[in-house]
Amino acid sequence: MTSYADFYRQSIDQPDAFWAEQASLIEWHKPFDRVCNYDNPPFVKWYEGGQTNLCHNAVDRHLADRAGQAALIAVSSETGLEKTYTFQDLHGEVQRMAASLKALGVEQGDRVLIYMPMIAEAAFAMLACARIGAVHCVVFGGFASGSLASRIEDAAPKVIVSSDGGSRGGKALPYKPLLDEAIRLSSHKPSAVLLADRGLAAMELVAGRDHLWNELREQHFDAQVPCEWLDSTAISYTIYTSGTTGKPKGVQRDTAGYTVALAASMKHIFDGHAGETFFSTSDIGWVVGHSYIVYGPLIAGMATIMYEGLPTQGMDKKPNGGIWWELVEKYKVTVMFSAPTAVRVLKKQDPALLTKYDLSSLRALFLAGEPLDEPTARWISEGLNVPIIDNYWQTESGWPILTIANGVESKPSKFGSPGIPMYGYNVKLLHESTGEELTVPGEKGVVVIEGPTPPGFMQTIWQDDARFVNTYWKSIPGRLVYSTFDWGIRDADGYFFILGRTDDVINVAGHRLGTREIEESISGHSQVSEVAVVGVADGLKGQVAMAFAVLKDSSVLNDAAACARLEAEIMKRVDNDLGAVARPARVRFVTVLPKTRSGKLLRRAIQAVCEGRDAGDLTTMDDPAALQQIRDRVETV
């Protein structure tokens, strides 16, 4: 068996040979002439001269051997819908969608903006775009009109695909009014809007512009739409990074490199096999949903579960903290992908739910999206008795940068670490001021990637090459390297530990502290479920750390004396773990932390409230009341 060290080293030292071998994992219409073109750093072109198609590799190529196998399993605990599409079914639905888009004037290279909930039609639309060579731009369903308008303006879509609405916690969320207002606000107007009517919210159709999917689907029911063979470097999609301010930042992805990267990751990282089932609890509005709900599992010949609903809501709309485990049992899920935030939610449920269902099919649970704290990792690891594999990556990378490649060589995970660099990623730690490479274990530096970046990585920022270079490649003096904008350290075994964003590092009386380190210490307290630490301006020390913690038992919040004792305990814990300099100025207790709908903590918004500033654009916030809690604690304590 190949050691991972050798496997990785070949990818760095002999990238052409390495990635030529990985290219055999997909099907090509025309072979490529050149593996890697890095003649114009930092821009890189993979598999020049070749032609392939993302939809062909995800759907069509499986028809010969597994046409009747489950491909897409659409489950909604919001509506009670549960439907399985075989590869043959999916092939038909994607062609109907492709024919409908073509009938609305979409041609190769045109943009199609997708603004939809987690329903099967959203996957049909993505795959249909890939099939005909259109560039899809998925925007998270439910985004406010202003945010959606800026993305419509930037992407300039010919057609928008949407729905009457989504649902969350049993409450309908009308999309159409938001979309209509966004189109009104945008200087760019799509020529057509295609709408899936779920019967959740009334819709007013705009004559001549709006079309119903069910009607076009019937018109094109027997459509035969062949895959367009696209050049390797053709754009597959753009996706906007979360938290963007000002002009939207559209991450642009290619076709062949992305297809190869996903095929390789399904084999080497996720150890997925054709005929098995993959369950990612993310959303198609985020990059995880693109890579590991829609494309990756299908490319590997696996069934993929597309889930709409809360992790604590059953198919009967009643509370059920075991719904995900119920699905694992029912569909014999082998690989699951979720986020630490979701696990912390489940941590508050009855622990008996982890043993109620037959989870023997599950081989591993992957977690990403934010740092995984040790107490949460340990709790879910002991509860499921399967490997819990953290992984670290970004919208920009398209697939994991740091994790464990058990498909190559089994290695242990380390609590608190996402793992080691994945093949193709030449990851280094650099000093932020001098650009010097840091090689001593435990030295803190900026996590960077040396070019050429591997297949599947972003090509550039949509329509803004200069911004791509200036934003990502010029932040370290004297070095042309891609900055992740994350602080990290590396231990003697080569495992990385992410300490937080470079702009989340706080400076307390000249001491640079990663908020992640303080959060890790606080989250280890037996009564703490979740915590966010931010740096707040202080006239004496420059900044001080402020902590906001969610307790496992919220009834404690009603006892001021108990809260005071708990705050003292937590501060002492931080003292012991990190030293007095890291001790938070205050620890305030809340019932929920403000997050985006993808589960990321809105630390900048928390910091702004603490400093009495405007919290900025909060359209991505999951629960607006959460920030008000922060405001109330700051003002009254």
Report, as an integer, the average pLDDT of 348-367.
92
Asked if residue 130 has pLDDT above 90, the reply is yes
Asked if residue 244 has pLDDT above 50, the reply is no
> Would you state the structure tokens that stand for residue 419, as one six-digit string?
């793992």
Summary mean pLDDT of the chain: 92
Span 307-335, pLDDT tens digits: 999 999 999 989 999 999 999 999 999 99
Q: Band of the pLDDT at 509, cuts 50, 70, 90?
A: low
Report, as an integer, the average pLDDT of 462-478.
94
What span, in angstroms and rounded, lies between the C-alpha atoms of 33 and 432?
39
Looking at residue 631, what is its pLDDT? Answer: 86
Looking at residue 351, what is its pLDDT? Answer: 84
Report, as an integer, the average pLDDT of 162-189.
95
Is the C-alpha dihedral spanning 315, 336, 402, 423 positive or negative?
A: negative
What share of the chain has pLDDT > 70, as a percent? Answer: 96
Looking at residue 634, what is its pLDDT? Answer: 82
Edge to edge, the sheet with strand 426-430 lists 426-430, 445-450, 481-490, 496-501
Report, as an integer, the average pLDDT of 528-550.
88
What span, in angstroms and rounded, lies between the C-alpha atoms of 575 and 609?
26
Q: Band of the pLDDT at 243, cuts 50, 70, 90?
A: very low
Strand ranges for 392-521 from DSSP E: 402-403, 420-421, 426-430, 445-450, 460-461, 481-490, 496-501, 505-508, 511-514
Report, as an integer, the average pLDDT of 233-261.
86
Between the alpha carbon of residue 463 and those of residues 400, 470, 605, the distances in Å are: 25, 14, 29
Residue with tokens 């400076």: 507
Looking at residue 55, what is its pLDDT? Answer: 98
Asked if residue 353 has pLDDT above 80, the reply is yes
Looking at residue 503, what is its pLDDT? Answer: 66
Looking at residue 374, what is its pLDDT? Answer: 80
What span, in angstroms and rounded, lies between the C-alpha atoms of 622 and 599?
8
Q: Band of the pLDDT at 84, cuts 50, 70, 90?
A: very high
Span 21-74, pLDDT tens digits: 999 999 999 999 999 999 999 999 999 999 999 999 999 999 999 999 999 999
Looking at residue 613, what is its pLDDT? Answer: 86
CA-closest candidate to residue 515, choices 612, 615, 604: 604
CA-closest candidate to residue 322, choices 312, 330, 332: 312
DSSP letters of 25-86? GS--SB--SEEEEEEETTEEEEEET-EE-HHHHHTGGGHHHHTTSEEEEEEETTT--EEEEE
- Rounded to two decimals, the pTM is 0.86
Exposed e or buried b per residue across 15-54, where buried means at least 16 C-beta atoms within 10 angstroms of its C-beta? beebbeebbebbebeeebeebbbeeeebbbbbbeebbbbb
For residue 307, which amino acid is it?
Answer: Y
What are phi and psi for residue 484, nearest 5 degrees? -80, -15
Looking at residue 245, what is its pLDDT? Answer: 42
What span, in angstroms and rounded, lies between the C-alpha atoms of 619 and 597?
9
Span 104-127, pLDDT tens digits: 999 999 999 999 999 999 999 999
Looking at residue 636, what is its pLDDT? Answer: 67
Span 399-427, pLDDT tens digits: 999 999 999 999 999 988 999 999 999 99
Looking at residue 2, what is its pLDDT? Answer: 82
Looking at residue 608, what is its pLDDT? Answer: 87
> Would you state the structure tokens that stand for residue 370, as one six-digit string?
């934010």
**Spatial contact of 567 and 575, defined as CB atoms under 8 Å apart:** no
Q: Could you give all domains of the chain from N- to C-terminal order, each with its CATH number?
A: 4-472 (3.40.50.12780), 509-636 (3.30.300.30)
DSSP 291: I
